[in-house]
Structure 1
Amino acid sequence: MKKELRKRLLERRNALDAARLSAAAARHLAGFLRERGAREVLLYLPFRGELSPLELPALYPEARYHLPRTAPDGLTVHPFTSPRERHPYGFEQPAANAPRSDPRRLDAVVVPGLAFDRTGYRLGYGGGYYDRFLPTLPEATLRIGLVPAALVLERLPRDPWDARVDWLATEEGLLHATAPDN
């Protein structure tokens, strides 16, 4: 079911103007992070048409930014300025020997996803990296999905191990994810 849904949603995302939507979402997200005093923020390097959070450092320079690396044992966190390498799937990430950051110090994590639902669950690419990473963070860490409004759905299929975000940042603004009614 998720495989067919991914295919349909990728087609929908590919028809969108990701650059325009990214810029608008980043402006909303910068204001949101500033209002909440977030100083340590995990971003991601966009891949396959994902919305890009990479305007945030210019829009909200008061924060210190970090990037994730996919490692065999899960995501690791590294300074944004770390040297980078290309992952076998084609996206960039911090190099294996890049210095690490302590994920417990993060005030906010910006989470990529193909789509999110209104309760904060996401549909990614099936690797489960964020599903394993998000529950390890302190409860106070802001968990924010970055997604086009056209890919915020009422409900996505979910598995027991899926982790949710608390906020959705779109080109229209920030949406507080509602608690799921299981």
Structure 2
Amino acid sequence: MAFQTAKRDLRRRMRSTLQALSATAISQQSSAATTKFLSLAEYQNAKNIAVYLSMPSGELSTTGIVKDALEQGKNVYIPYIHTQEKTSVMDMFALGSLTEFESLQPDKWGIPSFLSTQIEGRQNAMEQGLDLIVMPGMAFDHEFRRLGHGKGYYDHFLTRYSNLTRKMPFLVALSLQDQLLAEEIPVVEHDWLIDAIVVGDGRYLDRRV
């Protein structure tokens, strides 16, 4: 119970911090983070990548990453939230083109997303396999722990993916400077660590070094 309370309090604190950031500051940090991310060998060598699509405010934009990946001929998968056996789950489905990306409609959180009518026949990352996932989060720490939004979508997706006995994709988080904390983020056993963090000031943290 104390653990859940700690997570809830941290989310509340982070929400307040992120709401106070200006659109200009987020735009500048998004530009710096995108430049750094696009220079990573793991990205350049990846064929299949999954990318979160950003909320209207409070997190780094992934638009530049999606556009570059599509232009480079990579297969780009984006989150799709749906109900499966009365449970809300996330899958990753392929974007067809830049035009399709730009035509996506915002969901209830203001995040561009596929409509349910657009899913049939579309490539699913669970079947195709991924080389890299760009991870969102509310906060991160220097031990590569991640605080999500509380729905468990990414942790559940990664657990399902790992059960396919396939090589795990490289997990890269994008973090605003204010989201990278000096304190430890409370986690439990099923919370996945990330492999690397790209920060909005251009810094790059790698768990392997």
Verify same fold: TM over 0.5.
Answer: yes
User: For residues 31 and 91 of structure 1, what CA distance do their matches in structure 2 show?
Assistant: 26
- Give the superposition deviation at 1:15: 3.2
User: For residues 89 and 118 of structure 1, what CA distance do their matches in structure 2 show?
Assistant: 28
User: For residues 156 and 41 of structure 2, what CA distance do their matches in structure 1 show?
Assistant: 24
The match for 1:162 is 191
Correspondences of 1:1-182 after superposition (within 5 Å): 1-16=6-21, 17-33=25-41, 37-47=45-55, 48-60=57-69, 61-62=71-72, 63-73=74-84, 74-81=89-96, 84-97=104-117, 98=119, 99-103=122-126, 104-135=128-159, 136-137=161-162, 138-154=166-182, 155-171=184-200, 172-177=202-207
User: For residues 125 and 136 of structure 2, what CA distance do their matches in structure 1 show?
Assistant: 20
| Larger gyration radius, structure 1 or structure 2 | 2
Counterpart of 1:13 in structure 2: which amino acid?
Answer: L
Query: TM-score, normalising length from structure 1?
Result: 0.85
Q: Root-mean-square deviation (CA), in Å?
A: 2.4
Say whether the 8 Å CA contact 1:120–1:166 is kept in structure 2.
yes
User: For residues 110 and 13 of structure 1, what CA distance do their matches in structure 2 show?
Assistant: 19
- Give the superposition deviation at 1:18: 1.1
Question: What stretches of structure 2 of length at least 5 have no aligned partner?
Answer: 1-5
Bigger proportion of residues as helix: 2
Query: TM-score, normalising length from structure 2?
Result: 0.75
Question: What stretches of structure 1 of length at least 5 have no aligned partner?
Answer: none
- Identity among equivalent pairs (%): 23
Cα distance, 1:30–1:101 mapped onto 2, change above 3 Å: same
Counterpart of 1:173 in structure 2: which amino acid?
Answer: R
Cα distance, 1:120–1:139 mapped onto 2, change above 3 Å: farther
- Give the superposition deviation at 1:122: 1.2
Cα distance, 1:127–1:113 mapped onto 2, change above 3 Å: same
Residues 8-62 of structure 1: CA distance to partner in whole angstroms, max 9, x if unpaired? 1122223331111111101111111566501211111111421111101444532
- 1:72 aligned counterpart, secondary structure: strand
- Give the superposition deviation at 1:178: 6.6
User: For residues 26 and 37 of structure 1, what CA distance do their matches in structure 2 show?
Assistant: 16
Say whether the 8 Å CA contact 2:196–2:205 is kept in structure 1.
yes
Q: How many residues align?
A: 179
Residues 130-173 of structure 1: CA distance to partner in whole angstroms, max 9, x if unpaired? 01112315434111111113311241011222112111111223
